[in-house]
Amino acid sequence: MNEFFMKKLLKLLTILCVIACCISVPKVEARVRRYKWEVKYEFKSPDCYRKLAITINGRSPGPSIIAQRGDTIIIELKNSLLTENTAIHWHGIRQIGTPWMDGTEGVTQCPILPGDTFEYKFVVDRPGTYLYHAHYGMQREAGLYGSIRVLLPESESEPFSYDYDRSIILNDWYHNSTYEQSAGLSSIPFAWSVLIQGRGKFNCTTPGLPTGLCNASNPECAPYALKVVPGKTYRLRIGSLTALSALSFEIEGHNMTVVEADGHYVDPFVVKNLFIYSGETYSVLIVANQDPSRNYWASAKVVSRPSTTPNGLAILNYYPNHPRRNPSTNPPIGPHWDDVRSRLSQSQSIKARPGFIHTPPQRSDRVIVMLNTQNNVSGYRRWSVNNVSFNLPHTPYLIAYKYNMLHAFDQQQPPEGYDSATYDIYRVQENANATISNAAYRLKLNTTVDIILQNSNTMNRNNSETHPWHLHGHDFWVLGYGEGKFDRVNDSSKFNLVDPIMKNTVAVQPFGWTALRFEANNPGVWAFHCHIESHFFMGMGVVFEEGVEQVGELPTSIMGCGDTKRYFKP
């Protein structure tokens, strides 16, 4: 080839390279993932005791939602409960641009009536580990829940490596119905179990059990078996949807490296046992590096309250051992139930992973201090925030604000604090000024809000409970934890403003405080409440409104209750 043709070829190659560089690589198109679900009652024996459970397509836990970031999820949900309304909340999904799909009955939608079919449609906008569960009455603890796993696009990778990905939900399971519990938790004996991925083992020889309802040999209550291949690394996405209990989860002989919390990467740290509270999700990495000739116990123990309930048990099944082959060892005992310091220490260890830190605003525009109290109001025991016990209105807030139906709920602003100078958090208080209200906090759009959660004594002497608080529609920065009464001057100066983790659920420990910060940048109306089912049912929650005027036209499918009936078009 002569010099002339060489120059021509080089020029042509240069032009082709320029063209190639200018052409952008096409983005992977987001998918639409469709699900068709039927919610109905079925008899189940998850812990060997037969009772009615609420299922999705016959399953409890329900089907897992597995998607990639940016995918649209469409769920056609038929309510076949016959005599009961329902609604499902997509826990941890922020519903940016679709606040009416949050699935919170009384806040963002009317309930789905028996026999009706409702379509949920929303985008999963970031990777992580999330949950879904009923948000109507106390249906969550009847079995209506499941997991959501949002993956990165295939062209991207996590900042840690693993071979296999698994989801596990921890739950507590009660033998009395949700109606009996809402009427006063009155069954005798008050019987319950801890479930791992929907399976547990209740003692069928417990005195007082009705004849024929408990069968210890029922294969439905055989321990859940997680199969592992020796030498491989597993990402376990662990979520808790307990109705009451805080738990400690551990796997016999295996350390766990915490790498994700509520959809955010954690600066990795190693634990023997993982403390987890209702509404939280964590990803941990385990390596199947123990003796492969046997299986190992996984155990979930009740902490934060005294309990005689046996640990929930599952089996880490080393292939090719049989999954029903019980380990020859005793299950891990777990930490003592009242070891608050260990639980607080783990919470304080959770920091954002370097390279994935979302730096919080250095100052807030508003501070709301929320004293978690217990009261007697009109002869009923209630949970309260600043002595105000919350009740949902008949007309959902989102619709009421959008269509100016403000008569539908109380308009007096809830209190933004309490008399911290004189209130003794260590003493039983009469709280004679306690009231019941459904008023909401109105937040200015795009402002920064600090929430200080303060725990105090209940109506029982020397007693303060652990409360996991969950915020809908947002993530928040966890700025700090402390023991005793929050000091607005000294404790605020110690906030972590460098690498705080972002979460959607956080615990406040007995006689302690937790500080969080969030940006009110998601137009809508959002619940913020204790994720213990009975505590929210009994009034431990609030509602935030922000920028509803910027919310688009509401679908009529979310209407049909209270004052929204005139807007409903079947």
What mean pLDDT is predicted for residues 266-282? 98
Q: Rounded to whole angstroms, how far apart are CA atoms 31 and 65?
A: 13
Query: Radius of gyration of the chain from Cα atoms?
Result: 25
Q: Report the pLDDT value the prediction gives residue 5, as an integer from 0 to 100.
A: 46
pLDDT one-digit tens code per residue, 159-168 = 999 999 999 9
pTM: 0.92
Q: Rounded to whole angstroms, how far apart are CA atoms 557 and 559?
A: 5
Whole-angstrom CA distances from 248 to 65, 245, 284 are: 26, 10, 14
Whole-angstrom CA distances from 381 to 35, 183, 455, 458, 538 are: 41, 11, 17, 11, 8
Beta strand 388-390 pairing with 435-437 = parallel
The one-character DSSP state at 354 is T
Closest CA to 350 of 408, 288, 404, 283: 283
Ordered DSSP codes for 511-568: TEEEEEEEE--S-EEEEEEESSHHHHHTT-EEEEEE-GGGS-PPPGGG--SGGGGGG-
Ordered DSSP codes for 316-347: EEETTS-TT---SSPPP--S-TT-HHHHHHHH
Q: Evaluate whether 120 touches 105 at the Cβ level (below 8 Å).
A: no
The residues facing 471 across adjacent strands are 528
How far from the centroid of its chain's Cα atoms is residue 175's Cα? 23
How are strands ordered across the β-sheet holding 128-134?
Answer: 65-68, 145-151, 128-134, 88-91
Q: Report the pLDDT value the prediction gives residue 194, as an integer from 0 to 100.
A: 92
pLDDT one-digit tens code per residue, 355-382 = 999 999 999 999 999 999 999 888 888 9
Q: Report the pLDDT value the prediction gives residue 189, as an integer from 0 to 100.
A: 47
Q: Rounded to whole angstroms, how far apart are CA atoms 238 and 302?
A: 16
The residues facing 88 across adjacent strands are 134
Helix (H) or strand (E) holding 398: helix 397-402
Least confident of 114-123, 132-141, 146-155, 194-203: 194-203
Torsion angle of alpha carbons 548, 553, 556, 560, nearest 10°? 20
